[in-house]
Structure 1
Protein backbone atom coordinates (compact mmCIF):
# COMPACT_ATOMS: atom_id res chain seq x y z
CA UNK A 1 0.00 0.00 0.00
CA UNK A 2 1.52 3.31 -1.10
CA UNK A 3 0.05 6.61 -0.01
CA UNK A 4 1.62 9.98 -0.84
CA UNK A 5 1.82 12.53 1.92
CA UNK A 6 1.62 16.10 0.66
CA UNK A 7 1.78 18.07 3.89
CA UNK A 8 4.01 21.10 3.93
CA UNK A 9 3.94 21.35 7.72
CA UNK A 10 4.78 18.63 10.16
CA UNK A 11 4.92 18.42 13.90
CA UNK A 12 7.72 16.65 15.71
CA UNK A 13 5.49 13.59 16.08
CA UNK A 14 4.65 13.50 12.39
CA UNK A 15 8.04 14.46 11.01
CA UNK A 16 9.57 11.61 9.08
CA UNK A 17 12.97 10.54 10.27
CA UNK A 18 15.43 7.88 9.21
CA UNK A 19 19.12 7.41 9.76
CA UNK A 20 19.38 5.89 6.31
CA UNK A 21 19.81 9.00 4.27
CA UNK A 22 20.96 12.58 4.46
CA UNK A 23 17.82 13.35 2.49
CA UNK A 24 15.75 12.64 5.59
CA UNK A 25 17.35 15.58 7.35
CA UNK A 26 15.59 17.78 4.82
CA UNK A 27 12.37 15.77 4.81
CA UNK A 28 10.40 18.46 6.60
CA UNK A 29 11.36 20.93 3.85
CA UNK A 30 10.21 18.50 1.15
CA UNK A 31 7.25 16.80 2.82
CA UNK A 32 5.57 16.28 -0.57
CA UNK A 33 8.36 13.81 -1.41
CA UNK A 34 7.24 11.37 1.31
CA UNK A 35 5.11 8.31 0.62
CA UNK A 36 3.65 5.71 2.94
CA UNK A 37 4.32 2.06 2.23
CA UNK A 38 2.76 -0.53 4.53
CA UNK A 39 2.78 1.86 7.48
CA UNK A 40 6.29 3.22 6.89
CA UNK A 41 6.90 6.72 5.61
CA UNK A 42 9.69 6.72 3.06
CA UNK A 43 11.09 9.05 0.46
CA UNK A 44 9.63 8.73 -3.04
CA UNK A 45 13.08 7.57 -4.17
CA UNK A 46 12.85 4.64 -1.73
CA UNK A 47 9.28 3.56 -2.51
CA UNK A 48 10.27 0.93 -5.08
CA UNK A 49 12.87 -0.58 -2.77
CA UNK A 50 10.49 -0.77 0.18
CA UNK A 51 7.70 -2.17 -2.00
CA UNK A 52 10.10 -4.83 -3.33
CA UNK A 53 10.98 -5.82 0.24
CA UNK A 54 7.30 -6.22 1.15
CA UNK A 55 6.53 -8.09 -2.10
CA UNK A 56 9.29 -10.64 -1.52
CA UNK A 57 8.84 -10.79 2.26
CA UNK A 58 5.21 -9.87 3.06
CA UNK A 59 5.53 -11.02 6.68
CA UNK A 60 8.61 -8.87 7.41
CA UNK A 61 6.72 -6.48 9.70
CA UNK A 62 4.02 -8.82 10.99
CA UNK A 63 5.61 -8.83 14.49
CA UNK A 64 6.78 -5.21 14.32
CA UNK A 65 4.59 -3.36 16.79
CA UNK A 66 6.16 0.08 17.16
CA UNK A 67 3.51 2.79 16.97
CA UNK A 68 5.86 5.80 16.98
CA UNK A 69 6.09 6.81 13.31
CA UNK A 70 9.57 8.30 13.71
CA UNK A 71 10.89 5.04 15.12
CA UNK A 72 9.14 2.99 12.43
CA UNK A 73 10.72 5.19 9.76
CA UNK A 74 14.11 5.02 11.44
CA UNK A 75 14.00 1.22 11.53
CA UNK A 76 13.06 1.09 7.85
CA UNK A 77 15.91 3.49 7.07
CA UNK A 78 18.35 1.32 8.97
CA UNK A 79 17.08 -1.73 7.08
CA UNK A 80 17.57 0.02 3.74
CA UNK A 81 21.09 1.11 4.79
CA UNK A 82 21.88 -2.44 5.78
CA UNK A 83 20.71 -3.80 2.44
CA UNK A 84 22.79 -1.19 0.59
CA UNK A 85 25.81 -2.12 2.70
CA UNK A 86 25.44 -5.75 1.65
CA UNK A 87 25.17 -4.65 -1.99
CA UNK A 88 28.76 -3.41 -1.92
CA UNK A 89 31.41 -5.51 -3.60
CA UNK A 90 33.27 -7.93 -1.33
CA UNK A 91 36.39 -5.85 -2.02
CA UNK A 92 34.78 -2.68 -0.59
CA UNK A 93 32.98 -4.44 2.26
CA UNK A 94 35.19 -4.65 5.35
CA UNK A 95 34.99 -7.20 8.12
CA UNK A 96 34.01 -4.35 10.45
CA UNK A 97 31.13 -3.48 8.09
CA UNK A 98 29.95 -7.07 8.26
CA UNK A 99 30.21 -7.21 12.05
CA UNK A 100 28.24 -3.97 12.32
CA UNK A 101 25.65 -5.37 9.89
CA UNK A 102 25.43 -8.51 12.01
CA UNK A 103 24.67 -6.48 15.14
CA UNK A 104 22.15 -4.40 13.19
CA UNK A 105 20.28 -7.48 11.95
CA UNK A 106 20.14 -8.69 15.54
CA UNK A 107 18.74 -5.34 16.72
CA UNK A 108 16.17 -5.18 13.91
CA UNK A 109 15.11 -8.75 14.63
CA UNK A 110 14.71 -7.98 18.34
CA UNK A 111 12.48 -5.07 17.33
CA UNK A 112 10.17 -7.52 15.57
CA UNK A 113 11.26 -7.47 11.94
CA UNK A 114 11.47 -10.91 10.34
CA UNK A 115 14.85 -10.90 8.63
CA UNK A 116 15.80 -14.57 8.21
CA UNK A 117 16.35 -13.89 4.50
CA UNK A 118 18.70 -11.01 5.27
CA UNK A 119 20.55 -13.07 7.88
CA UNK A 120 21.16 -15.68 5.17
CA UNK A 121 22.59 -13.03 2.81
CA UNK A 122 24.76 -11.65 5.60
CA UNK A 123 26.12 -15.13 6.29
CA UNK A 124 26.88 -15.47 2.57
CA UNK A 125 28.71 -12.13 2.66
CA UNK A 126 30.79 -13.34 5.62
CA UNK A 127 31.63 -16.51 3.69
CA UNK A 128 32.59 -14.53 0.58
CA UNK A 129 34.82 -12.28 2.67
CA UNK A 130 36.49 -15.26 4.32
CA UNK A 131 36.90 -17.00 0.96
CA UNK A 132 38.45 -13.83 -0.49
CA UNK A 133 40.84 -13.64 2.47
CA UNK A 134 41.82 -17.30 2.14
CA UNK A 135 42.29 -16.99 -1.63
CA UNK A 136 44.41 -13.86 -1.11
CA UNK A 137 46.62 -15.73 1.35
CA UNK A 138 46.95 -18.67 -1.04
CA UNK A 139 47.89 -16.29 -3.88
CA UNK A 140 50.57 -14.69 -1.66
CA UNK A 141 52.04 -18.11 -0.82
CA UNK A 142 52.00 -19.19 -4.48
CA UNK A 143 53.66 -15.95 -5.59
CA UNK A 144 56.45 -16.54 -3.06
CA UNK A 145 56.90 -20.11 -4.32
CA UNK A 146 56.98 -18.93 -7.95
CA UNK A 147 59.59 -16.29 -7.09
CA UNK A 148 61.72 -18.86 -5.25
CA UNK A 149 61.44 -21.34 -8.10
CA UNK A 150 62.31 -18.67 -10.67
CA UNK A 151 65.50 -17.97 -8.73
CA UNK A 152 66.25 -21.70 -8.60
CA UNK A 153 65.49 -21.99 -12.31
CA UNK A 154 67.81 -19.09 -13.05
CA UNK A 155 70.59 -20.79 -11.06
CA UNK A 156 69.96 -24.07 -12.90
CA UNK A 157 70.05 -22.33 -16.28
CA UNK A 158 73.36 -20.71 -15.36
CA UNK A 159 74.80 -24.07 -14.29
CA UNK A 160 73.51 -25.65 -17.49
CA UNK A 161 75.26 -23.02 -19.63
CA UNK A 162 78.52 -23.61 -17.73
CA UNK A 163 78.25 -27.37 -18.20
CA UNK A 164 77.52 -27.00 -21.91
CA UNK A 165 80.54 -24.72 -22.28
CA UNK A 166 82.66 -27.27 -20.43
CA UNK A 167 81.30 -30.07 -22.64
CA UNK A 168 82.16 -28.10 -25.77
CA UNK A 169 85.64 -27.44 -24.41
CA UNK A 170 86.11 -31.14 -23.73
CA UNK A 171 85.18 -32.03 -27.31
CA UNK A 172 87.75 -29.77 -28.92
CA UNK A 173 90.50 -31.98 -30.31
CA UNK A 174 94.10 -31.24 -29.58
CA UNK A 175 95.94 -29.25 -32.15
CA UNK A 176 99.36 -30.39 -33.38
CA UNK A 177 100.99 -27.54 -31.49
CA UNK A 178 99.20 -28.62 -28.28
CA UNK A 179 100.73 -32.05 -28.51
CA UNK A 180 104.23 -31.14 -29.63
Structure 2
Protein backbone atom coordinates (compact mmCIF):
# COMPACT_ATOMS: atom_id res chain seq x y z
CA UNK A 1 0.00 0.00 0.00
CA UNK A 2 1.57 3.26 -1.12
CA UNK A 3 1.39 5.85 1.63
CA UNK A 4 2.34 8.94 -0.39
CA UNK A 5 4.59 10.20 -3.08
CA UNK A 6 5.52 13.74 -3.99
CA UNK A 7 4.17 14.60 -7.39
CA UNK A 8 6.54 17.10 -8.96
CA UNK A 9 5.92 16.57 -12.66
CA UNK A 10 2.14 17.06 -12.59
CA UNK A 11 0.43 18.95 -15.36
CA UNK A 12 -0.96 22.42 -14.72
CA UNK A 13 -4.48 21.02 -14.78
CA UNK A 14 -3.67 18.52 -12.04
CA UNK A 15 -2.07 21.27 -9.98
CA UNK A 16 -5.13 23.51 -10.01
CA UNK A 17 -7.98 22.44 -7.81
CA UNK A 18 -11.11 24.10 -6.60
CA UNK A 19 -13.43 22.75 -3.94
CA UNK A 20 -15.92 24.87 -2.02
CA UNK A 21 -14.13 28.05 -1.02
CA UNK A 22 -10.60 26.64 -1.16
CA UNK A 23 -8.29 26.89 -4.14
CA UNK A 24 -4.79 25.67 -4.61
CA UNK A 25 -2.44 26.30 -7.42
CA UNK A 26 1.25 25.99 -8.25
CA UNK A 27 1.19 29.51 -9.70
CA UNK A 28 1.82 31.05 -6.27
CA UNK A 29 5.37 31.27 -4.97
CA UNK A 30 4.15 29.92 -1.63
CA UNK A 31 2.06 27.10 -3.07
CA UNK A 32 2.19 23.70 -1.43
CA UNK A 33 3.69 20.71 -3.15
CA UNK A 34 1.16 18.25 -4.45
CA UNK A 35 1.44 14.91 -2.76
CA UNK A 36 -0.25 11.65 -3.70
CA UNK A 37 -1.85 9.61 -0.96
CA UNK A 38 -3.54 6.35 -1.94
CA UNK A 39 -4.38 7.65 -5.39
CA UNK A 40 -5.54 11.10 -4.27
CA UNK A 41 -3.52 14.21 -4.99
CA UNK A 42 -3.60 16.60 -2.07
CA UNK A 43 -1.68 19.59 -0.90
CA UNK A 44 1.37 18.94 1.23
CA UNK A 45 -0.33 20.99 3.96
CA UNK A 46 -3.20 18.46 3.92
CA UNK A 47 -0.91 15.44 4.05
CA UNK A 48 -1.18 14.91 7.81
CA UNK A 49 -4.98 14.97 7.76
CA UNK A 50 -5.29 12.67 4.73
CA UNK A 51 -2.70 10.25 6.14
CA UNK A 52 -4.60 10.16 9.44
CA UNK A 53 -7.82 9.35 7.60
CA UNK A 54 -6.22 6.45 5.75
CA UNK A 55 -4.41 5.20 8.85
CA UNK A 56 -7.64 5.04 10.84
CA UNK A 57 -9.82 3.92 7.93
CA UNK A 58 -7.59 2.08 5.45
CA UNK A 59 -10.51 0.64 3.47
CA UNK A 60 -12.25 4.01 3.09
CA UNK A 61 -11.54 4.23 -0.66
CA UNK A 62 -11.45 0.51 -1.49
CA UNK A 63 -14.70 0.79 -3.49
CA UNK A 64 -13.91 4.25 -4.91
CA UNK A 65 -13.19 3.63 -8.60
CA UNK A 66 -13.13 7.02 -10.29
CA UNK A 67 -10.42 7.18 -12.95
CA UNK A 68 -10.54 10.95 -13.47
CA UNK A 69 -7.83 12.36 -11.18
CA UNK A 70 -9.49 15.75 -10.92
CA UNK A 71 -12.72 14.16 -9.72
CA UNK A 72 -10.81 11.99 -7.23
CA UNK A 73 -9.09 15.12 -5.91
CA UNK A 74 -12.39 17.00 -5.76
CA UNK A 75 -14.01 14.23 -3.74
CA UNK A 76 -11.11 14.27 -1.28
CA UNK A 77 -11.38 18.05 -1.02
CA UNK A 78 -15.09 17.76 -0.27
CA UNK A 79 -14.37 15.12 2.36
CA UNK A 80 -11.73 17.31 4.03
CA UNK A 81 -14.06 20.33 4.00
CA UNK A 82 -16.81 18.20 5.51
CA UNK A 83 -14.51 17.08 8.32
CA UNK A 84 -13.46 20.69 8.94
CA UNK A 85 -17.14 21.66 9.14
CA UNK A 86 -17.85 18.96 11.70
CA UNK A 87 -14.85 20.12 13.78
CA UNK A 88 -16.54 23.45 14.45
CA UNK A 89 -17.93 24.07 17.93
CA UNK A 90 -21.52 22.83 18.23
CA UNK A 91 -22.68 26.40 18.85
CA UNK A 92 -21.35 27.39 15.40
CA UNK A 93 -23.07 24.54 13.53
CA UNK A 94 -26.59 25.18 12.35
CA UNK A 95 -29.16 22.57 11.50
CA UNK A 96 -28.73 23.66 7.89
CA UNK A 97 -24.98 22.89 8.13
CA UNK A 98 -25.75 19.45 9.53
CA UNK A 99 -28.33 18.72 6.84
CA UNK A 100 -25.84 19.73 4.13
CA UNK A 101 -23.22 17.50 5.75
CA UNK A 102 -25.74 14.65 5.75
CA UNK A 103 -26.39 15.05 2.02
CA UNK A 104 -22.65 15.33 1.35
CA UNK A 105 -21.91 12.09 3.19
CA UNK A 106 -24.68 10.42 1.21
CA UNK A 107 -23.16 11.65 -2.07
CA UNK A 108 -19.64 10.60 -1.08
CA UNK A 109 -20.92 7.19 -0.02
CA UNK A 110 -22.76 6.76 -3.32
CA UNK A 111 -19.46 7.48 -5.07
CA UNK A 112 -17.91 4.53 -3.26
CA UNK A 113 -16.26 6.00 -0.17
CA UNK A 114 -16.82 4.05 3.03
CA UNK A 115 -17.74 6.71 5.54
CA UNK A 116 -19.60 4.85 8.30
CA UNK A 117 -17.18 6.40 10.82
CA UNK A 118 -18.02 9.90 9.60
CA UNK A 119 -21.74 9.09 9.59
CA UNK A 120 -21.43 8.19 13.29
CA UNK A 121 -19.80 11.54 14.04
CA UNK A 122 -22.50 13.37 12.10
CA UNK A 123 -25.17 11.49 14.07
CA UNK A 124 -23.42 12.61 17.27
CA UNK A 125 -23.43 16.19 15.98
CA UNK A 126 -27.18 15.93 15.31
CA UNK A 127 -27.67 14.61 18.85
CA UNK A 128 -25.62 17.48 20.29
CA UNK A 129 -27.69 19.96 18.29
CA UNK A 130 -30.91 18.40 19.57
CA UNK A 131 -29.59 18.41 23.15
CA UNK A 132 -28.55 22.03 22.73
CA UNK A 133 -32.07 22.93 21.54
CA UNK A 134 -33.61 21.11 24.51
CA UNK A 135 -31.30 22.86 26.97
CA UNK A 136 -32.02 26.27 25.42
CA UNK A 137 -35.78 25.59 25.68
CA UNK A 138 -35.36 24.60 29.35
CA UNK A 139 -33.35 27.75 30.01
CA UNK A 140 -36.05 29.90 28.40
CA UNK A 141 -38.70 28.16 30.50
CA UNK A 142 -36.73 28.66 33.71
CA UNK A 143 -36.07 32.30 32.85
CA UNK A 144 -39.82 32.83 32.38
CA UNK A 145 -40.53 31.19 35.75
CA UNK A 146 -37.91 33.39 37.43
CA UNK A 147 -39.40 36.47 35.78
CA UNK A 148 -42.92 35.54 36.93
CA UNK A 149 -41.73 34.82 40.46
CA UNK A 150 -39.82 38.11 40.59
CA UNK A 151 -43.02 39.92 39.56
CA UNK A 152 -44.99 37.99 42.16
CA UNK A 153 -42.34 38.74 44.79
CA UNK A 154 -42.48 42.41 43.82
CA UNK A 155 -46.25 42.39 44.30
CA UNK A 156 -45.86 40.73 47.70
CA UNK A 157 -43.22 43.27 48.73
CA UNK A 158 -45.57 46.06 47.68
CA UNK A 159 -48.39 44.57 49.74
CA UNK A 160 -45.98 44.21 52.68
CA UNK A 161 -45.03 47.89 52.46
CA UNK A 162 -48.73 48.81 52.53
CA UNK A 163 -49.45 46.58 55.56
CA UNK A 164 -46.57 47.84 57.72
CA UNK A 165 -48.11 51.27 58.40
CA UNK A 166 -51.45 49.61 59.22
CA UNK A 167 -49.68 47.20 61.58
CA UNK A 168 -47.85 50.06 63.27
CA UNK A 169 -51.13 51.95 63.64
CA UNK A 170 -52.78 48.90 65.22
CA UNK A 171 -49.90 48.51 67.68
CA UNK A 172 -49.96 52.13 68.84
CA UNK A 173 -51.53 52.33 72.30
CA UNK A 174 -54.20 54.80 73.02
CA UNK A 175 -53.15 58.04 74.58
CA UNK A 176 -54.99 59.42 77.58
CA UNK A 177 -56.42 62.18 75.44
CA UNK A 178 -57.73 59.61 72.95
CA UNK A 179 -59.74 57.91 75.65
CA UNK A 180 -61.05 60.91 77.57
User: What TM-score, normalized to structure 2?
Assistant: 0.91
- Please report how far the alpha carbon of residue 21 of structure 1 lies from its aligned counterpart in structure 2 after TM superposition: 5.5
Contact map agreement 1:90 1:125 (CA 8 A) in 2: yes
Q: Aligned to 2:64, what secondary structure does the other structure show? A: coil
The corresponding residue for 1:56 is: 56
Distance 1:126 1:16, change over 3 A: same
User: Where in structure 2 are the equivalents of 1:14-53 lying within 5 Å?
Assistant: 14-19=14-19, 22-24=22-24, 26-27=25-26, 33-53=33-53
Equivalent-residue separation in structure 2 for 1:5 and 1:66 (angstroms): 19
Equivalent-residue separation in structure 1 for 2:16 and 2:57 (angstroms): 23
- Please report how far the alpha carbon of residue 18 of structure 1 lies from its aligned counterpart in structure 2 after TM superposition: 4.4
- Please report how far the alpha carbon of residue 29 of structure 1 lies from its aligned counterpart in structure 2 after TM superposition: 5.2
Which consecutive residues of structure 2, in runs of 5 or more, have no partner in the other structure? none
Contact map agreement 1:2 1:38 (CA 8 A) in 2: yes
Distance 1:74 1:18, change over 3 A: farther
Equivalent-residue separation in structure 1 for 2:79 and 2:117 (angstroms): 12
The corresponding residue for 1:164 is: 164
Moved more, 155-164 or 134-143: 155-164
Aligned CA-pair RMSD: 1.8
Moved more, 102-111 or 14-23: 14-23
Count of residue pairs the alignment pairs up: 177
Contact map agreement 1:18 1:75 (CA 8 A) in 2: no
- Please report how far the alpha carbon of residue 75 of structure 1 lies from its aligned counterpart in structure 2 after TM superposition: 0.4
- Please report how far the alpha carbon of residue 50 of structure 1 lies from its aligned counterpart in structure 2 after TM superposition: 0.1
The corresponding residue for 1:143 is: 143
Q: Aligned to 1:4, what secondary structure does the other structure show? A: strand
The corresponding residue for 1:10 is: 11
Which consecutive residues of structure 1, in runs of 5 or more, have no partner in the other structure? none
The corresponding residue for 1:129 is: 129
